Amino acid sequence: MLDIQFIRDNPELLQQVARLKGIDISIEELLSVDKQKLRLLHQTEQLRQQRNRLSKLIPQLDAENQADEIVQTKEEVRQINVELQQIESRRTVIEHAFEALMLLVPNVVSPDTPIGATDADNVEVRRVGEPTSFDFAPKDHVALAETLNLIDIQRGIKVAGTRGYFLRDAGLLLHRAVQQLALDLLSARGFTIMDVPLIVREEALLHTGFFPTGRDQTYKLENEQKWLVGTSEVPLVSYYSNEIVNVAEPIRLAAASYSFRREVGSAGRDVRGLYRVHQFAKVEQVVICRNDRDVSEQVFAEITKNAEDLVQLLELPYRIVAVCTGDLSQKNYKQYDIETWMPSRKNYGETHSSSILLDFQARRSNIRYRDASGRLQFCHTLNNTAVATPRILIPLLENHQRADGSIHIPKALRPYMNGREELRQ
């Protein structure tokens, strides 16, 4: 959420950002509702002052035995109360409209965010490693996993429907190994690691900026105003909601959790394998820092490096792309994705994402700190996917396959795989 005064001062800018991000909101309508809200508030205050003045006059009139004036004054007070009730009813309607529109206002975008409509317009920042080449016909991750009994997709669909899957034996160990490697890396770098609620109140999703625009991607619990999270970013940020925190040093949090997404709008896309599934696991980084863009950029570089270091430990080629305006979510100010080479796709596929949100989430969540002068300021928040699995299993299996069908296990994962150096039949 943005400060209303900023919106009043920059209506053209925010309407342009809304167009670039594909968000259907009229800033002009919002400002019209804002003016109505202020006008009704002003009328309410005037009428209350008038009522208070008349109410204080009644005892004086009573002491002076001015019965007719008392009756008249009481009637004026009654009429004011009727008018106040009518205005309060209009204010309730206007305030609800104002709040609904405010929740649609997008965050501003950074000056270095590329302009574009879709992920095809994202801009490569740098590339590390070269796409893997083979001197044999490589298999995709589904064929590899089925041969080695790592994944059972057919039975997953039988039990859970489209995009369901089972992980088996070494497939499960690999799934857990990448998560534990990420947790150990982040813990060593000063992150507080947490297990978090996966079922949250609706306000947690509103306050972190996932609602209202992402409502159709989220699973709701029947007959409850509670939802399954699509990322542990939601509970991690909400952990400090409505609190005043100490950000002399950035607060670094990380969680390993399952995540759930409906994937509405992706029918027919990535239906083979593990790229786009409804249930997956993530290790998420969240950082809360002071309201300073230079600090946010430093933290952004830090959390992106953490994810890059993990990909390098997994011995995978990857690239960093700057996400364009049309591919940027409502809440994000700036975003970099890490895309890892996936041989079966003959392309890079997104496996990690880093975002700066400035004070957008903190305003909604009411997370503040005291600056050097003692004034309360809203914090900045940032997040990054350190690893998401089973998607990361796609490049792991495909890039590390050998001609005989075996899979090389990167050295960094071996301690979490009981020392195993390869997977084979």
As annotated, the active-site residues are: 261, 276, 350, 353, 391
Distance between CA atoms of residues 410 and 396, nearest Å: 9
CA-CA-CA-CA torsion sign (59, 65, 66, 70):
positive
Nearest CA-CA partner of 291 in 250, 321, 328: 250
Distance of CA 152 to the CA centre of its chain: 31
3-class DSSP state of 173: helix
The beta strands (E) that lie in 290-361 are given as: 318-322, 334-342, 347-356
Structure-block tokens of residue 392:
């990361």
The residue written with tokens 């928040």 in the block is: 381
Q: Count the Cβ atoms, other than its own, within 10 Å of residue 150.
A: 25
- Whether residue 219 contacts residue 163, with contact meaning beta carbons closer than 8 Å, is answered with no
- CA-to-CA dists, residue 370 to 194, 374, 375, 377, angstroms: 26, 5, 5, 6
* C-alpha distances in Å from residue 31, one per residue of 8, 25, 221: 7, 11, 35
